[in-house]
Amino acid sequence: MTFRKYLVLAGVTLCASIGDSLLSRGMKQVGNISLNHLHDLILAVLNPSVALGILLLLGFFASYMTALSWADLTYVLPATSLGYVLLTLIAKFYLHEAVTTSRWIGILLISAGVGFVTQGPALTHHPAKAQPLERGCEPASAGRNDAGRKHESQAMENKR
């Protein structure tokens, strides 16, 4: 994993949680939309918070797709779940909502899950579909043979 890739994961987390918060704030400013006035839903995008929220959610989708192009789904989803923690912290410190003990335990569990998954490899290596390897992306299995190591060092040489 390179610094650039961690930035993409941070982009997924930040864009999703801040985008959701902005959409929520914007829609509260717009007010309730009744089924008889559905066209108000289109005008809602003129609200600055809603517009910025939509832009950030587009940024979320772009960074999510980028992350999925070089990392496993089972790596990206837990690794970017810190957004839930961020949303709770925004609710606590920015919106001044009460955060209960069970929510703090929830934050601890999510953080532990993120810690678990980010210590492992980001991508499953399929030998049949050999891709350029990258240090840190190789599965950390103890049973890796010499051919695998040779392949990895060759790939590193090629990268240099």
Partner 1 sequence: MKQVYAWSAIAAIVLASTTGDVLLSRAMKQVGDVGALWRQSGLWTLLGRVLRNPNFLLGVLAMTAAFYSLLFGLSWGDVSLIAPASASLTFVTNAIAAKIFLHERVDHRRWMAAVLVAGGVVLLAA
The binding site for partner 1 (CB under 8 A) comprises 4, 64-66, 68-70, 72-78, 81, 84, 88, 100, 102-103, 105-114, 116-117, 119-121, 124, 126, 139
Q: How far is the CB of 152 from partner 1 (least distance, A)?
A: 16
Q: How far is the CB of 48 from partner 1 (least distance, A)?
A: 24
- Name which of 48 and 93 has its Cβ closer to partner 1: 93
- Name which of 34 and 69 has its Cβ closer to partner 1: 69
Q: How far is the CB of 83 from partner 1 (least distance, A)?
A: 11
What letter represents residue 11's amino acid? Answer: G
- Name which of 48 and 116 has its Cβ closer to partner 1: 116
The CA-based dihedral angle spanning residues 92, 97, 98, 104, taken in that order and rounded to the nearest 10 degrees: -30
Cα separation, 53 vs 46, whole angstroms: 11
In this structure, how many other beta carbons lie within 10 angstroms of the beta carbon of residue 11? 19
Q: At 139, list the tokens.
A: 């599965």
Please, are residues 64 and 11 in contact by the beta-carbon 8 Å criterion?
Answer: no
